[in-house]
Structure 1
Amino acid sequence: MSQDLVVILTALNLEYQAVHRRLAGPQLHRHERGTRFEVGTVQGTSCRIALGLTNKGNQSAAVIAERAIQEFSPAAVLFVGVAGALWDSARLGDVVMATHVYAYHGGTSEDDGLKARPRAWEAPHDISQLASHLARMNDWADDVPGEGDAPQVRFGPIAAGEIVQNSKISAQAQWIRHHYNDALAIEMEAAGVAQAGHLSGAPVAIVRGISDRADGTKSSTTDRSWQPRAAANAAAFATRLAVELVRDQQQFATRPADGAGSTGQLPGHVTNTAHSSTVGIMAGSVKNSNVYFSADPKPSAPKDLVAELDGFREHLMRHLAEGALDEDTCREALVDLDSARRTAREDAPGSSKRTAMALKRLRGLIADHPLLADRLAPLVVAAGGSA
C-alpha cells in the first residue's frame, strides 16, 4: 500500500478541474490499457493524489476505480463531485459525506408493485471518524468573499442509480423518497466505486457537493451557477481529508511497537516495578529484574505460498459444502484464488503485486466469514500485502 498516495476520482471534467486546481506539479501517468491519471501533491503538503476521470455511471466508475486501485495500491479512494439533494436538510453548496451508499436500482417487480432490494456499503469507520473531526474543526473551506454562509459538511446515506434524477413528482422520484427516505443526496457513481473498493480491500469515501435539488430545476441557470461552487467545496473537503488520511497512515507506520510505554523502555523490554508482590508473566527470557520477550501480532508468512493457496482452496470448498458459503461468493473467490496462485508461480516483475491484489480482492469477498478471513491473513502478508 502507498501510504502517501490517495486516489481521487471524478465523473465530470468540471469536478476533475476543481481537484486539479489544488494539486502542485501534476504529472501524467498512463495505465497500460490507456486510462490516464495525473499524479501531483496537495499544495503545501507531502500528500500525493492520483486524479482520474471515470465518466458517468456506476459501471464505468467501478472499472476505473478497480484499475486505479491495482495501479497505485492507494491508502484510500475518494470519489468527489456534485450531487442532487433529496431533502432540504442539505443546502446548495453544502458537502455530503456518505455514511453508506445505496445501490437503489436493486429490486423485484411484482403484481403489487416494485419492491426494493438494495445493496449497501458502509464507509470505513476510521475515515468516517476523521471526516467528522475535520467537519467539527470547520477550517477546510476556502474563504471566498461574497459567497454567503460557509458550506457545512452533512453526514448521511447517498443513493446511487443509473439515471439522472430531476423530479419530485415522478413515480420513480416518489419511490426513491419512500424507500430511501434517509438518503441525503442522489447521484450515479458511488455504488460502483464502493463495490470496487469492497472487492479490492481498499477503503472508499464518497464526497459530494450539493449543486441542485433533483426536483425539476436541474437545467436552470441557478443550478448551472451552483455546480462549480459545489464541485469546489467537495474538492476542498476531499483534499483536506486526503492529507489527513496520509498523515494518519504515516504516523501509524512509525508508531512504536506495542510494549514501548511512557516509561521509555524499548519494545520487548518490561521492567517489574511492583513492590512486595508477585508478578506472573510469560516471557522469552528473564535477566535480573528485567524481562525480555518477543511478540509479533502479525501472522507469520508461510514458506510455500502456492501450497498454502492450495490448502486454502480446500477450506473454501469445505465451507461451500457445509452451506456456510454461497455458490456465487465461492465462484468469485475461486477466480481470485486461481489468479493469485498463477501469479505466485511467476518469476516476473510485478507478479508479487498482482498476487497481493488478487488476495486482497478475495479478502473483501470473504470478509463476512471470520474463519476464512483468519486463514487468508498470513497469505496476504506472504504475498507482500498488509494484514
Structure 2
Amino acid sequence: MPETHPTVLVLTALALEYAAVRPHIEDREELVHPDNAGARVERGRLSGTDWYLALAELGEGNSNAAALTTQIIGWLKPEAVLFVGVAGSLKADIGIGDVVVGTRVYGIHGGKQTENGFQVRPEAWPVSYALESAARSAVRDMDGVRAHFKPIASGDVVLADAESKIAQHLRENYNDAAAIEMEGAGTLRAAHLNGQLHALVLRGISDHADAAKHEADATGSQERAAAQAASVAVATLRKHRPRGGRDGSSDTEEGPQRVDGDGGASYGGDHIDLRGGPFHGPVIGKQLGHRP
C-alpha cells in the first residue's frame, strides 16, 4: 500500500488527455497495483497545495472506466476523482476549446425496446457540489477559458453525424446535455457506489459531434481541448482543499471555512459544516448549543 497522502485520482481515456495533465504534476513516480492487477498510475505533487495527484490512462468506454476506477479507488483510497478529457459539443453556442464542467452525467443507453418504439429509462449521476462550486470559483479568475456548467451525455459511441438516430435520441430525451463523451457515467457510478468520494467530470470541446469531426481533429483541436480541460481541473483543485491539513486534522473539527483575502482559510460561526463530505443536496440549518 502506498504511503498515505491526500490524493486526487485524475483519470483520462486517451494518451493526449494524459499528456495534457501530466506536466501539472511534480516529482512524479510510477506506482503499480500491489496485487499485479494491471492498474498503473503516476503520482506526484500539485505545487502550492497539499494534494498528491494520481494520474491514470484507462482507455475508452464506460464499462472499462467503471471497472478500472473501482480498482484504483480501492487501491489508493483517494478523496476525490476527476475525469479530464475531450468531448463533442451538442450545442451551437458551445465551441471548440470551451470547457464543459458536468453538473450531472447521463448514461444514455438505458431503456426498453417495445413495439411502440424505444422507451428511455434515464440514468443520471450527480457530481460533487463541493468540486462544482470550486470549479465555478476557479474559472472566474482564468483568462482565455470559456466554461459551461451543464449536463453531459455519456455513452459508448463516437458521434460524428448530427443527423443520426443517436443524435436524434439525444435531442429528444437528453436535450439539456451540452456535450457527449464515453467514460463519465462509468466513472461517476464507481465513485458514488464507493460512497465517500467527491467526483467531477471536465471535458474540453474538440468538435461539434458532426460530420466535420475528423477535420477538427486534424487541426489539433483535441490537444487544445484537453489542455483547456486540464487547466480547469488543476485550478479547481487549487480551490478545493483536502479534508485534513498537513497536520492531519479535519476541517470539520474547527467549524465552517471562510477564505481570507490571501487565499488562506479561517473557521468560525454557528452553521453546520458539511464541506468534508460528499453531500450533494442543499442543507439549511443552524448549530445550537446543548439544551437540557
TM-score (norm 1): 0.61
Amino acid at match of 1:29: L
Residue in structure 1 matched with residue 163 of structure 2 by the alignment:
169
Amino acid at match of 1:42: L
> Which stretches in structure 2 are left out of the alignment for 5+ residues?
257-272, 281-292
Residue in structure 1 matched with residue 241 of structure 2 by the alignment:
246
Measure, in 2, the Cα distance between the counterparts of 1:53 and 1:213: 24
SS at match of 2:213: coil
Of residues 129, 134, 152, the one that matches 1:158 is: 152
Q: Is the 8 A contact 1:212 1:223 kept in 2?
A: no
249 and 226 in structure 1: CA distance in 2 versus 1, 3 angstrom threshold? farther
Residue in structure 2 matched with residue 18 of structure 1 by the alignment:
20
Of residues 36, 39, 45, the one that matches 1:35 is: 39
* 1:115-160: CA deviation from partner (whole Å, max 9, x where unpaired): 2111111112222222111122x23x6xxxxxxxx22110010000
Cα offset, 1:242, TM superposition: 2.2
Name the structure, 1 or 2, with higher relative contact order (CA <8 Å, separation 6+). Answer: 2
The aligned length equals: 252
Amino acid at match of 1:14: L
Measure, in 2, the Cα distance between the counterparts of 1:95 and 1:7: 20
Measure, in 2, the Cα distance between the counterparts of 1:254 and 1:85: 38
Measure, in 1, the Cα distance between the counterparts of 2:209 and 2:237: 29
Residue in structure 1 matched with residue 86 of structure 2 by the alignment:
82
Residue in structure 2 matched with residue 147 of structure 1 by the alignment:
none
Q: Is the 8 A contact 1:4 1:246 kept in 2?
A: no
258 and 79 in structure 1: CA distance in 2 versus 1, 3 angstrom threshold? closer
3 and 244 in structure 1: CA distance in 2 versus 1, 3 angstrom threshold? farther
Residue 100 (structure 1) aligned with residue 104 (structure 2): yes
Cα offset, 1:44, TM superposition: 4.2
Measure, in 2, the Cα distance between the counterparts of 1:45 and 1:216: 42
Cα offset, 1:248, TM superposition: 6.3
Measure, in 1, the Cα distance between the counterparts of 2:192 and 2:118: 27
Measure, in 2, the Cα distance between the counterparts of 1:151 and 1:131: 12
Measure, in 2, the Cα distance between the counterparts of 1:167 and 1:249: 47
Amino acid at match of 1:170: S
Residue in structure 1 matched with residue 269 of structure 2 by the alignment:
none
Cα offset, 1:223, TM superposition: 5.2
Q: Is the 8 A contact 1:3 1:246 kept in 2?
A: no
The structure richer in strand per residue is 2
Residue 5 (structure 1) aligned with residue 7 (structure 2): yes
The percentage of counterpart residues that share the same residue type is 37
Residue in structure 2 matched with residue 65 of structure 1 by the alignment:
69
The structure richer in helix per residue is 1
Cα offset, 1:26, TM superposition: 0.8
256 and 118 in structure 1: CA distance in 2 versus 1, 3 angstrom threshold? closer
Measure, in 1, the Cα distance between the counterparts of 2:91 and 2:18: 26
Moved more, 112-121 or 57-66: 112-121
Measure, in 2, the Cα distance between the counterparts of 1:157 and 1:128: 12
* 1:332-381: CA deviation from partner (whole Å, max 9, x where unpaired): xxxxxxxxxxxxxxxxxxxxxxxxxxxxxxx99xx9xxxxxxxxxxxxxx
Cα RMSD for the two superposed structures? 2.5
> Which stretches in structure 1 are left out of the alignment for 5+ residues?
142-149, 260-296, 298-362, 368-387
Of residues 165, 172, 196, the one that matches 2:190 is: 196
Cα offset, 1:222, TM superposition: 5.4
Structure 1 residues 112-151: aligned runs within 5 Å: 112-136=116-140, 138-139=141-142, 150-151=144-145
Structure 1 consecutive aligned stretches of length 4 or more whose deviation exceeds 6 Å: none
* 1:66-105: CA deviation from partner (whole Å, max 9, x where unpaired): 1121111111000000000001121111111100000000
Residue in structure 1 matched with residue 232 of structure 2 by the alignment:
237
Q: Is the 8 A contact 1:26 1:41 kept in 2?
A: yes
Q: Is the 8 A contact 2:8 2:78 kept in 1?
A: yes
Cα offset, 1:249, TM superposition: 5.0
Amino acid at match of 2:186: G
Larger radius of gyration: 1
Q: Is the 8 A contact 1:5 1:246 kept in 2?
A: no
249 and 133 in structure 1: CA distance in 2 versus 1, 3 angstrom threshold? farther
